[in-house]
Amino acid sequence: MSKWNKNWVEVRRERFNPAPMSQQILKPRVRGFICITSHPEGCAAHVREQIAHVRSRKPLQDGPKSVLVIGASTGYGLASRIAAAFGSGAATMGVFFERNGEGDKPGSPGWYNTAGFHAEAKKAGLKAISFNGDAFSAEMKAQVIAGIKSKMPNGKVDLVVYSLASPRRTAPDGVTYKSTLKPTGAPFHAKNLDTDRKVVNDVTLETANAEEIAHTVKVMGGEDWEMWMEQMNQAGVLAHGCQTVAYSYIGPEVTWPIYKDGTIGKAKEDLERAGNKIDALMKLHRGRAFVSVNKAVVTQASSAIPVVPLYVSLLFKIMKAKGNHEGCIEQIQRLFEKQMYNGNALDFDDKGRVRLDDWEMLPEIQKAVFDVWPKVTTETLDQYGDFAGYQSDFLKNFGFGLTGVDYDAATEVERPIEDA
Ligand code: NAD
């Protein structure tokens, strides 16, 4: 190639393709309640932050040693995986539905979180196995069960965490059901926060019809949790004393029409029904099944629920001032440390649920939220709420805003999840 040609090729490459396709400078690109970009090193740093919290606590006594987390890549499921691995030295198997980066497109945060988790698990000598695909499918259940038999300690699990949040499910009948977030009583008119534009506005949500309620129950109810546990029981992969937990939410009265009494609340009622049925099954193994009602936190799932981001912004300010604010990792660490392990007993409410939302629901916290609820407007949001905290948690979920990460440097978007 002549000198002239060579230069011309180089100039073209520089102009049109400055770095290899998979090297990108990644900045947050927020669209409504989702960020369409995510940062691999930022997500890994977020995982390390959660590991550091677990390591700052004493190791669990009689903690889990072989754990399956269904919905393990973000939010409460990821926190459960981290707390089990780094607080109890557990081998963990995670199931999730995520996407690696490809070409100029970054992957999903759950993929990068898992890549970061595997890297840290490997360094710590902890076994980590992950399955990416549809947890609702028969194929995934069969693969995971085979994986438990061949790869997990003694071929069994002693804790199963069910932490899926999904907008749709293809059920064994072949029908794809879609979940909706709607009231089931009268249409709901309420204050809301447009988190994209930082505007407090009003929202009216129309009532769900019977089909929408039934479909939401199919997706977010307990049927799939039951199927997982029944199939694992039949396959003989549940260890003596095995426990299983699924997560729920109740929240304050201002959100009841859209949450507790809405389509999602009907699904959560079904989750509790399933929990009771699974509990009977787990008794055969001297184990148990229960639902834990967790605190409102910022995750991909909760950001999508109308009214909730406004409530969360106000709640965070009040709980931070009181000194009892928690995120996913603090909640799950408390569940493991104070309720499930260390020789403790589960503290059930009158409906047999564990209440990790106890501090959120303290009368003085709820009263403080209610006092400011009528006063909050676009102009007074920063005075009464912690929108900066909401936004920072939101962006952290996509790997942005973490200290020690160079966000101006191009980074490889395609990341392997390495065996650990
Ligand atoms: P999330 O969106 O952060 O996580 C959902 C997980 O489910 C991810 O790992 C995702 O990959 C996985 N997933 C979704 N569809 C899947 C599929 N088809 N196959 C395999 N994996 C799939 O959600 P989250 O907020 O942590 O919610 C988890 C549970 O906690 C839910 O039951 C939710 O109702 C409950 N909860 C959440 C809050 C909150 O404020 N976020 C509060 C209390 C309870």
Which residue has the CA at smallest separation from atom 34 of ligand 1? Answer: 248
Active-site position among 76, 259, 384, 390:
259
pTM, entire model: 0.95
Element (H, E) at 391: helix 387-396
Atom of ligand 1 at shortest range from CA of 297: 40
Let me know if residue 18 belongs to a domain: no
Is the pLDDT confidence value at 178 over 70? yes
In the predicted model, what is the mean pLDDT of residues 81-110? 97
Is the pLDDT confidence value at 119 over 50? yes
Report the C-alpha gap between 119 and 96 in whole angstroms.
17
C-alpha of residue 246 to centroid of ligand 1, in Å: 10
Q: State what percent of residues in the chain have pLDDT above 70.
A: 95
C-alpha of residue 165 to centroid of ligand 1, in Å: 3
Which residue has the CA at smallest separation from atom 18 of ligand 1? Answer: 134
Confidence category of residue 13, pLDDT binned at 50, 70, 90: very low
Task: Identify whether the C-beta of residue 71 lies closer than 8 Å to the C-beta of residue 95.
Answer: yes
Let me know if residue 410 belongs to a domain: no
Let me know if residue 414 belongs to a domain: no
Q: Residue 59, Cβ neighbours under 10 Å: how many?
A: 14
Is the pLDDT confidence value at 17 over 90? no
C-alpha of residue 78 to centroid of ligand 1, in Å: 9
Q: What is the pLDDT of residues 309-324, one digit of tens each?
A: 999 999 999 999 999 9
Q: Can you give the residue range of the structural domain that contains 146?
A: 30-401
pLDDT for 304 equals: 87
Active site residue 259: yes
C-alpha of residue 72 to centroid of ligand 1, in Å: 8
Residue with token string 């009158």: 350
Let me know if residue 21 belongs to a domain: no
Let me know if residue 369 belongs to a domain: yes
Confidence category of residue 14, pLDDT binned at 50, 70, 90: very low
Confidence category of residue 362, pLDDT binned at 50, 70, 90: very high
Let me know if residue 4 belongs to a domain: no
Q: What is the largest CA-CA distance in the chain?
A: 83
Let me know if residue 217 belongs to a domain: yes
Is the pLDDT confidence value at 52 over 70? yes
Q: What is the pLDDT of residues 250-283, one digit of tens each?
A: 999 889 999 999 999 999 999 999 999 999 999 9
In the predicted model, what is the mean pLDDT of residues 329-339? 98
Is the pLDDT confidence value at 2 over 60? no
Confidence category of residue 6, pLDDT binned at 50, 70, 90: very low
pLDDT for 397 equals: 98
C-alpha of residue 71 to centroid of ligand 1, in Å: 6
Report the C-alpha gap between 48 and 286 in whole angstroms.
35
Element (H, E) at 30: strand 30-31
Number of domains in the chain: 1
Mutate to test the pocket of ligand 1, among 34, 46, 134, 166 (most ligand atoms within 8 A of CB): 166
Residue 299 phi/psi, 5-degree rounding, is -135, 175
CA distances from 332 to 49, 75, 289 (A): 14, 10, 16
In the predicted model, what is the mean pLDDT of residues 25-53? 96
Which residue has the CA at smallest separation from atom 36 of ligand 1? Answer: 248
Is the pLDDT confidence value at 123 over 70? yes
* Local structure of residue 369 (DSSP, 8 states): H
Q: Residue 228, Cβ neighbours under 10 Å: how many?
A: 24
pLDDT for 16 equals: 53
Let me know if residue 45 belongs to a domain: yes
Mutate to test the pocket of ligand 1, among 80, 97, 356 (most ligand atoms within 8 A of CB): 97
pLDDT for 419 equals: 84
Is the pLDDT confidence value at 15 over 60? no
Is the pLDDT confidence value at 9 over 80? no
- Residues near ligand 1 with C-beta < 6 Å? 71-77, 95-98, 110, 134-136, 163-166, 247-249, 294, 296-297, 299-302
**CATH number of the domain enclosing 95:** 3.40.50.720
